[in-house]
A and B are shown apart, each in its own frame.
Chain A
Amino acid sequence: MNSTRLLRLATDLIVIFLGLFSLTSPFFFTQARDIDNQAAAFPIMVSLIILLCLMIVIFEAQTSLLDSKMIAFLAVLTAINAGLRFLENAIPGPGGFSPIFFLIILSGYYFGSRIGFLVGAMTLLVSAIITGGIGPWLPGQMITAGWVGQSAIILTFLVDKFAWRGKPVEIILLSGFGGLWGILYGVIMNLWFWPFLGAGAGQTFSHTAGALENLQRYVAYYLATSLVWDITRTVGNILIISIMTTSVLKVFQRFKQRFSFQIQG
């Protein structure tokens, strides 16, 4: 494996590790400073670390992936996906149903993990800019959406190994994946908010409690607040992916050549 690929792999791993660790750090902090003020700064620090991780991934992508064709390609795909996000406000019913994930997953699945990551992260960024919704939660949203696209590479690996391309199994796999992320996205995003809502001594998120107890509290908190949203998101993802995949993949196939991706994203 040459040095560029090694570096890229290192970047991916570092980002995943740092990002996940930062987000799940509330579970581990049993001995953190006991000054109440500390905990409110917690999510801000997490956002900062995540921002630095995003910076690393983007920097790496710029040097190896982003030429004018790829920039235009990503820009357009992101604009479409950001537009889909507005649909989510137009659809009545319980919130959570979000049409943005299927393009992210399919991009990652078909074009590679980095493109998947960028489509995910940039969709969130662009739609935040458009709606004037930039805030400290944005890095968390960006990196999680990025992971959705990045992790689709697992499916690519499976499908290629078992020669499932074009078969119904492919669609089932992708839909299931979308469903899984429907819940996972909510779980991870709530991890970011959680310390906010319960910080300091003797709270929902407790410094003095053990890791297991913290986990229990988090699960309860999650179930109470976010589950309904996430279930609609899951169901939505499964439905949309199962319906749209075949046609969208065909479109991607048509354009793969034109945008001549020199490196597997």
Chain B
Amino acid sequence: MIHSIVWMIWLLVVMVFILSTRNPIYLGLILVGLLFLGHRLAREKKIKNWVLANLRFLLTMILLSTLINGFFSHVGQTILFTIPQKWPLIGGNFTLESLVYGVINGLVIGALYILFNIINLALSIKQLTRMIPRAFHPITMMVTISLTFFPSIQKRAREIKEAQMIRGNPMKKIVDWLPILIPLLVTSLENAFLLAESMTTRGFHQPIDLRAPGNLISLILGTFFVFSGWMMHLFNYPRYLSAPLFVIGFGLILLTLMAVGKHSKITRYHHEEWKPMDIMITIIIALYLVIFIYLRWADGLPSLNYSPYPYLSMPALQTIGLLFCILPFVPMIIKRHD
């Protein structure tokens, strides 16, 4: 089992790569890698038809975005057919380039979707909830309890439905659900009260009383900085202005959360061990990231910026770009090695 943080780092880097390119060949290769990885993980979890389900989504997205782009965008040189101009918005040329552009869009969305599905496969619910920082312990408790209660509430709903049906409830219209919802609501809320008692009895204390609103203010400030950094970036302000804003913003937020987390004396029972495999993967991914950032900065990866406009052409490929497409395979390879 690969450590959950390692998975998150992998997720981040692959996502960065996917979002940096519109080169359909790169995207296609990454997708293949992801599908392989997902297939492997799904097989371990005995989930059937994972690849099929994801492929279906991918194709639907490609179709959707292709059609939308083809009909709404009229840029491009290779005209397939023309819709009369008087038709609102879709009037104009339907070009091959815009079709291809739509396909690329679909590939991006699909890749992101499949990427996150892999994370959902790789990480258990427990691992996901444990990654939430300690500063958010109360809400994590709430989510945990919700997940714990969910099956029993479903079971209760079925019992109530059965009892009401035997009492003659026809279960046909919406109004027939009221005799199920209301008892369920009342009983569950009563159980919630009992649960709160049980929690309190076992020492669950009220959250840290942060009367000093300082922490909240610094979180808000941090968010504003990040937001401003983004805005500046979008408005083409130079990088040396937007980047620091990002860094300060995130730094502020992280520091605040860490400070709050340290304040709470709650300890955690579970602990994920860092195995050599985890360290190896992290190093490899970190290398990838560093090289990638350097190359982007130095403009050494022009093959990423592919555009079918104005005239459809063959996408360029670079060996180093292809190397990056191997990233999805990394967890698989290292795991097999282990």
Contact = CB atoms under 8 A, between A and B. Distances in A.
Q: Are A and B in contact, CB atoms below 8 Å, in the complex?
A: yes
Interface of A: 3-4, 7, 10-11, 14, 18, 22, 25, 29, 31-33, 35-38, 40-41, 44-45, 48-49, 52-53, 55-56, 58-63, 66-69, 71-80, 82-83, 122, 125-126, 129-130, 132-136, 196-204, 216-217, 220-221, 224-225, 239-240, 243-244, 247-248, 251, 254-255, 258-259
B142 A201 contact: no
Contacts of A18: 223, 227
Nearest to B66: A197
B204 interface: yes
Contacts of A133: 120
Contact of A80 (B120, B143, B188, B206): B188
Interface of B: 15, 18-22, 64-65, 68-69, 72-75, 88-90, 98, 101, 105, 108-109, 112-113, 116-117, 119-121, 125, 128-129, 135-136, 138-139, 141-143, 145-147, 149-150, 153-154, 157, 174-175, 178, 181-182, 184-186, 188-189, 191-193, 195-196, 199-200, 204, 206-210, 213, 215-217, 219-220, 222-223, 226-227, 230, 233-236, 253, 304-305, 307, 309
A229 to B, nearest CB: 14
A243 B180 CA distance: 13
B269 to A, nearest CB: 19
A221 B20 contact: no
A201 B309 contact: yes
A134 B142 contact: no
Contacts of A7: 213, 216-217
A65 B120 CA distance: 31
A129 B220 CA distance: 27
B223 A62 contact: no
A247 B74 CA distance: 54
Nearest to A248: B185
Contact of B120 (A29, A60, A132): A132
A200 B97 CA distance: 13
Given A71-B141, A135-B116, A247-B182, A31 B219 contact: no
Nearest to A84: B181
Q: Which of B101, B192, B307, B309 neighbours the largest number of chain A CB atoms within 10 Å of its CB? A: B192
Contacts of A44: 15, 19
Contacts of B143: 75, 122, 125-126, 129
A234 B335 CA distance: 49
A59 B157 contact: no
Nearest to A205: B72
Nearest to B114: A135
Nearest to B207: A62
A201 to B, nearest CB: 7
16 contacts: A14-B223, A32-B234, A32-B235, A37-B305, A55-B223, A63-B207, A75-B143, A75-B192, A79-B146, A79-B147, A135-B112, A196-B108, A202-B309, A224-B68, A251-B182, A258-B193
